[in-house]
Amino acid sequence: MSRLYVPPVPIPVESPELVRDRARRRTRGLGALFALALLGIGARGAVLCLQPDTQTIRQASVQRWGQVTIRERRGEVLDRTGRRLATSLDTPSVAVDPVAVRAEDREELIADLARILELDASDVRTKLARETRYVRLKTKVHPATASAIQTLDHPAVWTHRDARRYYPEAGLGSQVLGFVDSNGAGRGGLEKAMDSYLDGGQVVMQRRRDRRGLGVDGDQGEHRPDAGMTVHTTIDRSLQRVAERALDGVVERHEPKAAFAVVIDVKTGDILALANRPTFNPNALGTDPAPRRNHLVQDAIEPGSVMKPFTIAAAIEEGKLEEFTPVDCEGGAFYIGRTRIRDDHPHGVITATEVLKYSSNIGSAKQALNLGPDTFIDYYEDFGFGHRTGIELPGERSGRMRDPAKIRPIELATTSYGQGMTVTGLQLAMATASLGNDGVLMKPRIVTEITDADGLPAWTMKPTPVRQVISPTTARTVSRMMVSVTEPGGTATRAQVPGYQVAGKTGTAEKVENGVYSDARIGSFMGFLPADRPEVAIVVSVDEPQKGSRYGGIVAAPAFAEIGIESMRILGIEPDPELEAEVEQLADTKDARDPLVLARRDGGWELPDLRGRPLREVLAGLQSSGLQIAVEGSGHAVAQSPAPGTPIRDGELVAVLFN
Amino acid sequence: MSAVPHPQSPAMQGSTPRAAAKGQGWDWVLFGTTLGLAAFGLLMILSASSSFADLIYGDSLTFVVRQVGALCIGATVGAGILLSPYRTLSRLALPAYIAAIVGLMLVFSPLGVTVKGATRWIWIGVNLQVSEFAKLALILILSNYLARNEGRLHDVVGVVLPSFGVAAPILLLVFVEPDFGTTVVLSGLVGILLIVAGLRLYWVGALGAIAVAGLALMGSMAEYRMRRLTSFLDPFADPAGDGYQVIQGWIAMSSGGWTGRGLGTGVAQSGFLPEAHTDFISAVVAEELGVIGWSIVIVGYIVLVWRGMRVAERAPDLFGTLVAAGITGMLAAQAIVNLGVVAGVAPAKGLVLPFMSYGASAAVNHTISVAILLRISMMRPPESLAEARS
């Protein structure tokens, strides 16, 4: 090997043995370091697998479980014939995974999506350009739109199931039904009371999802798309509509603060209709809570004269009174201690029936005084006043009844005609129904049955008698007496239902405001029909009518009649043949004449010619004037005193002979 | 010109006794471990990518087929190396070095392919990641140079500094792609080779300090690097951004437990975990096969390191020792950094997990690398070692 001269290397070359040994040592050292690092990382990884920290777990649950828990479909609420009152609509949303869209069919997909979803094509294009794997294109689409999307069968596009509560009848019976809040929880009405049954649950279903929201490994846990149970109610959709419409008429005529009506099946205690004004549309919730109030259940009001039939019933049941027992009404003023009670229309001695017919406070008070506080209050309580009915609706009030041990005679007297106590409209309706049900008080029923997804009953409620309050004989007697209220001369001829006898009672309660009786009134009418074979009991109350009259016989009775007529038609109850003939006869003569109008004269009235006019027209015409009318016979008027054209003042007596 | 060939350097190999060059059996444990990791990798790639591949390409086997193809190419080249004389390795060093530099420069030619702002590939019918092969070229050329200067590593000016000159073109070209992660790995390889070649330990310490300073400097040059460098410390500081991938990896692992959810049932790769079948495949292993699967991977790499370093120890000459140590170091460093990123103890680098991650260029490079290890293992150890062991 020939090479140039190399000067001595200043640094000596190490021997190969030294170099190799050192290399081996260092190789081993590096290997050990690498192995140690791998072991450390391995241990760290095992910890991450077995004991992940809380932040990881939370993040995992948020993205994998929290988002995937779906609320099961809420159950439906049906009326008594199976028509939907509340249901849940599928309102799916449509999403896309932009990564999975291939360039070759991109434009076609954009066109399809824009067409089906009615979106702007450029909008869809922008969304598909996003660097993500999940873009929501549209929410709350129609189920038909969702199925159109599904028929595209594109791997990048899919639909989410989602449901929205929907009330097909909009505002119909909205206080009974209630509504569902944004969290899917029932609020108010049956939605709240039956929430545990209607709610399909949201924990039942567990499903892991991938980032696009698709199920990864199938359902875990039991998924029941129809897990919510179906609530079968006693509400009759048609009758409910009638009640709502009748209240609309009341609102239009009298502009009250509130009005409410309820229709009860007297034999079963079923609530066929329950309507409130003001009202709301649960499909478009506002923020005002006032229209959501179910006055019939949630308000305890002073009832007034509608309590008199129950006072009379107690007296008859106790053998203290009979149908035609004379009662001295003291000429309109009666002292209890130093307190005077009075009748608006003074009477002398009248029959027990007439006490109801003319609504005499004095006649009523005497019965309560005669019975004594314990017996009398017992009867009221037996009729259900002062106790919750147990209806499956939220917020029920019990009303307030005076304590018989502490009651003073004047309080006993006022209680007999519904002052100094409070009741709910529903209590009143149930007690009224008991008079038409041979004295048996029923528990009100709003839900008959709750069925599960398989249609099997999970909960049922049979008609439930609470107690026999009065004997059937007493009940029928009181019914007959109450018919007089709607007959000529009674306080509520406007409650008449052509072709059917109506047993009823008016009430005009003074409202207590700030502890004192105010000028405000609640006009009510309660009753049942047909009086001789009762089917339905109806209560109508009008709270603070602003326009027109304030009297129950005028503000509430027409709505009662309207509901009564339609309920007879809807329930298919045959009219009374005799009364039907009279209806036709009336219809013949009524239109033939000028309407009966009283003309004002010298602060009083000028008495018109009544001859030839039918009984009910005469009564209706004179009733609102405050005149006293003495009626003899029936049919058409043949004679009158004073003579036609005579000036006459309030409270004076007009005698009319009918033949 | 201080690089005078040592009498026993590879350049002089032709004169070594025939007996020493005569082969022995290769390292079966190394071979088996590599094969096992590659097979396991294919299984996991299939599990982690099938739904994604189906979505993108309409064929759930797309990635698996490509990976198998890459492994076959690597195995073919590897077989050639195994059948060639040992000397071929040192003779390949210079051509490989030149090819790597040319290839890395081609990246900036019209052939270059840019993805997410980094130009790391050239298109020659397939996308080729040149920096993968540059690692191997660097190991070969530097091992060759250092072996030629055996025993002179204390000459810092005459030997060590020129070695940096050898490495510099490759490092610089990779750095400007930019490929920060691979630059770090390449720097590490230079360090490993110098250490094994006999660099004085105080110089090792000094170089380490310089490396750390260099890292900090490079990190500060680009904000995204600095963020990536530090975000691993607390991924939950930005769970939707920098920390997202690591958190998703942890979530995947957290649902693994001891035995995992079962192959193919992982949720992570269904869109939650980015790079599930590449950089984060070990998280999918942990999710689907639990601690058991994770441990198999860890043990696999420890065995790989053990056998690789054993090959280095028993290599017939310094060149073989350096090449084997370099290759083992390369595989170990990639595994440690990749697994470290998943475990949250290293900053995200975008490094693949050897034999497990999907990545064609890496698969070819790693297969060839192991073939070189096996070729070295076929050589009889030098007599001094054989005596020491006998």
pLDDT score recorded for residue A487: 85
Provide the 3-class DSSP secondary structure of residue A135: strand
Q: Catalytic one among A238, A305, A524, A541?
A: A305
Distance of alpha carbon A598 from alpha carbon A619, whole angstroms:
12
Contact map slice: B 12-71 vs A, CB within 8 A: 55-56
pLDDT score recorded for residue A262: 96
pLDDT score recorded for residue B174: 92
B158 contacts on A by Cβ (under 8 Å) = 11
Per-residue 3-state assignment (H helix, E strand, C coil) for chain B:
CCCCCCCCCHHHHHHCCHHHHCECCCCHHHHHHHHHHHHHHHHHHHHHHHHHHHHHHCCCCHHHHHHHHHHHHHHHHHHHHHHCCCHHHHHHHHHHHHHHHHHHHHCCCCCEEEECCEEEEEECCCEEEHHHHHHHHHHHHHHHHHHHCCCCCCCHHHHHHHHHHHHHHHHHHHHCCCCHHHHHHHHHHHHHHHHHHCCCHHHHHHHHHHHHHHHHHHHHHCHHHHHHHHHCCCHHHCCCCCCHHHHHHHHHHHCCCCCCCCCCCCCHHHHHCCCCCCCCHHHHHHHHHHHHHHHHHHHHHHHHHHHHHHHHHCCCCHHHHHHHHHHHHHHHHHHHHHHHHHHCCCCCCCCCCCCCCCCHHHHHHHHHHHHHHHHHHCECCCHHHHHHHC
User: How close is the nearest chain B Cα to the Cα of A127, in Å?
Assistant: 18
Domains of chain A from N-terminus onward: 67-233 (3.90.1310.10), 237-281+294-588 (3.40.710.10), 599-658 (3.30.10.20)
**Alpha helices by DSSP H, A101-219:** 106-117, 121-128, 143-152, 174-177, 189-193, 195-198
Residue B112 lies in a domain: yes
For the segment B154-180, the average pLDDT, to the nearest whole number, is: 89
Locate the chain A residue with the closest alpha carbon to B256. Answer: A49
Residue B2 lies in a domain: no
B152 contacts on A by Cβ (under 8 Å) = 11, 13-14
B252 phi/psi in degrees, rounded to 5? -60, -45
pLDDT score recorded for residue A219: 46
A87 phi/psi in degrees, rounded to 5? -145, 175
pLDDT band at B257 (very low <50, low <70, confident <90, very high): confident
Locate the chain A residue with the closest alpha carbon to B259. Answer: A49
Check CB contact of B246 with chain A, cutoff 8 Å: no
Are A55 and B332 an interchain contact pair (Cβ–Cβ within 8 Å)? no
A5 contacts on B by Cβ (under 8 Å) = none
Residue B6 has pLDDT above 50, yes or no: no
User: In Å, how far are A191, A244, A281, B352 from A169, measured between CA atoms?
Assistant: 15, 12, 9, 64
Q: Are strands A447-451 and A230-233 parallel, antiparallel or unpaired?
A: antiparallel
For the segment B303-312, the average pLDDT, to the nearest whole number, is: 94
pLDDT score recorded for residue B252: 83
User: How close is the nearest chain A Cα to the Cα of B385, in Å?
Assistant: 9
CA within 13 Å, CB half, A9: 14
Contact map slice: A 551-570 vs B, CB within 8 A: none
Are A14 and B152 an interchain contact pair (Cβ–Cβ within 8 Å)? yes
Distance of alpha carbon A135 from alpha carbon A379, whole angstroms:
68
B4 contacts on A by Cβ (under 8 Å) = 6
Q: Closest partner residue to A211 among B6, B271, B325, by Cβ?
A: B271
For testing the chain B interface, which of A28, A34, A102, A157 should be mutated: the one with the most B CBs within 10 Å? A34
B197 contacts on A by Cβ (under 8 Å) = 19, 23
Residue B11 has pLDDT above 50, yes or no: no
pLDDT band at B15 (very low <50, low <70, confident <90, very high): very low
Residue B49 lies in a domain: yes
Contacts with B90 (C-beta within 8 Å, 6 or more apart), sequence order: B10, B11, B13, B140, B144, B147, B319
pLDDT score recorded for residue B112: 82
Residue among A382, A432, A437 nearest A263 (CA):
A432
Locate the chain B residue with the closest alpha carbon to A50. Answer: B257
- Other beta carbons within 10 angstroms of residue A62's beta carbon come to 12
pLDDT score recorded for residue B329: 95
B192 contacts on A by Cβ (under 8 Å) = 30
Locate the chain B residue with the closest alpha carbon to A22. Answer: B198
User: How close is the nearest chain A Cα to the Cα of B149, in Å?
Assistant: 9
pLDDT band at B7 (very low <50, low <70, confident <90, very high): very low
pLDDT score recorded for residue A9: 57
Render pLDDT for B338-350 as a digit per residue (tens, 0 to 9): 999 888 888 777 7
Residue B7 lies in a domain: no
Contact map slice: B 189-218 vs A, CB within 8 A: 192, 195-198
pLDDT score recorded for residue A617: 74
**What is the spatial order of strands in the sheet that A230-233 belongs to?**
A163-166, A84-90, A77-78, A230-233, A447-451, A457-460
Predicted TM-score (pTM) of the model is 0.54
pLDDT score recorded for residue A226: 62
Q: Please state, rounded to an integer, the average pLDDT across all residues of chain B.
A: 84
The residue that leads in pLDDT, A262 or B214, is A262
B335 contacts on A by Cβ (under 8 Å) = 38
Check CB contact of A67 with chain B, cutoff 8 Å: no
Distance of alpha carbon A76 from alpha carbon A34, whole angstroms:
66
Distance of alpha carbon A555 from alpha carbon A256, whole angstroms:
10
pLDDT score recorded for residue A8: 62
Question: A583: which 2 tokens?
Answer: 């209806």
Q: Residue B325 belongs to what domain range? A: 18-389
Best-predicted range by mean pLDDT (B3-12, B47-56, B213-222, B337-346): B337-346
Are A45 and B253 an interchain contact pair (Cβ–Cβ within 8 Å)? yes
Check CB contact of B345 with chain A, cutoff 8 Å: yes
Contacts with B175 (C-beta within 8 Å, 6 or more apart), sequence order: B183, B218
The amino acid at residue A297 is V
Note if A305 is an active site residue: yes
Residue B387 has pLDDT above 80, yes or no: no
DSSP A505-524: EEEEEEEEETTEEEEEEEEE
Distance of alpha carbon A95 from alpha carbon A533, whole angstroms:
62
* Number of folded domains that form chain B: 1
ipTM for the complex?
Answer: 0.89
Check CB contact of B156 with chain A, cutoff 8 Å: no
User: How close is the nearest chain B Cα to the Cα of A179, in Å?
Assistant: 38
pLDDT score recorded for residue A207: 47
Distance of alpha carbon A607 from alpha carbon A598, whole angstroms:
7
Distance of alpha carbon B373 from alpha carbon B143, whole angstroms:
14
Check CB contact of A106 with chain B, cutoff 8 Å: no
Residue B314 lies in a domain: yes
User: How close is the nearest chain A Cα to the Cα of B313, in Å?
Assistant: 5
pLDDT < 70: residue spans in chain A: 1-4, 6-11, 61-71, 133, 161-162, 201-226, 581-603, 623-626, 650-651
Question: A190: which 2 tokens?
Answer: 């049956």
Residue B9 has pLDDT above 70, yes or no: no
Render pLDDT for B258-296 as a digit per residue (tens, 0 to 9): 888 878 777 666 667 777 888 888 888 988 899 999 999
Q: Are strands A326-328 and A333-336 parallel, antiparallel or unpaired?
A: unpaired
- The percent of residues above 90 in pLDDT, for chain B, comes to 45
